[in-house]
Structure 1
């Protein structure tokens, strides 16, 4: 049986801020893991999972590992995503999109020697402008969600299985006509 996880918020209740939750929900509907996108579902899920890794969001990691399985992302890609650049598992377009996601998530990596424009041009070499915009939207949406869940303190805990009631010491010896066990 697969481990079941429950979440509890340990810091903030974001539902008390209607504009914030509306923003997050609108992004999820348009660019979340259930949205219909132009870019391949596998790529979108890899981007979401990578942003969750970069931002250290346990809620998003849990949700998007499950979503990656549902999207049939190859297990090797999911397992090696944390060091994707050290593998030959990812296509050139995926590598460009992952680089784009990392730089958009951690923009402090942009320098005079490595401007964001070069990263944009690399991803644009593989994807149509509408797809690049969608890649950006998926990444931006995930950054909103990872930061929201971190602020909430969305803490995964192991789901507690209901306790099994103690067995009755009495052992039925006979079943009466009414279907009751007599002891």
Structure 2
């Protein structure tokens, strides 16, 4: 992100012990982790969480990461995935599950889980949940610390 820098406007996350736990989660389920679920699907889920929260830092980081492994139309169209045929049935079920975990109510989760279970087994669903929950931790941490993008003056 050479043309953008980020500044903390509220607090330095290094001052909390919580950051160490978040880093462990990121190592296991973050965008550089090796997972059993499809890498493109995992990155779509991370980007969708960033869109839902919304976190500027995460949107910039995960849009760039997504573009490295996913075709632009699928990245560009993610906001309207429900009205698109660019995503497979398992991806659509995973995106609905992601939304239920991130912004849904308690009643949204059971049907989203059941729809996802039609495509994936319990281990994959657990890994998807971990990816989404990890992303929720990071988006909210970045919001809490006030991670704010600004252009770098050259």
State the TM-score, normalizing by the size of structure 2: 0.96
1:1-183 counterparts in 2 under 5 A? 4-18=3-17, 20-70=18-68, 72-108=69-105, 110-111=106-107, 115-161=108-154
Which digits, 9 at most, give the CA deviation of each residue in 1:127-156, with x for residues without a partner? 121110000000000000000000011001
Partners in 1 of 2:90 and 2:100 — Cα distance?
Answer: 15
Shift of 1:83: 1.1
Shift of 1:44: 0.3
Shift of 1:107: 2.8
Shift of 1:35: 0.2
Which digits, 9 at most, give the CA deviation of each residue in 1:102-140, with x for residues without a partner? 0000132x43xxx42211111111112111000000000
Partners in 1 of 2:35 and 2:20 — Cα distance?
Answer: 21
Larger RCO of the pair (alpha carbons < 8 Å, separation 6+): 2
- Paired residues in the alignment total 154
Find runs of 4+ consecutive structure 1 residues off by over 3 angstroms. Answer: none
Shift of 1:3: 7.1
SS at match of 1:6: strand
Contact 1:45 1:68 in 2 (8 A): yes
Partners in 2 of 1:126 and 1:74 — Cα distance?
Answer: 23
Choose between structure 1 and 2: higher helix proportion.
2
Q: Which residue in the other structure is 1:166 paired with?
A: none
Partners in 1 of 2:113 and 2:145 — Cα distance?
Answer: 32
Structure 1 unaligned runs (5+)? 162-183
Q: Give 1 or 2 for the bigger CA radius of gyration.
A: 1
Structure 2 unaligned runs (5+)? none
**Change in CA separation of 1:17 and 1:3 when aligned onto 2, cut-off 3 Å:** closer
Q: Which residue in the other structure is 1:167 paired with?
A: none
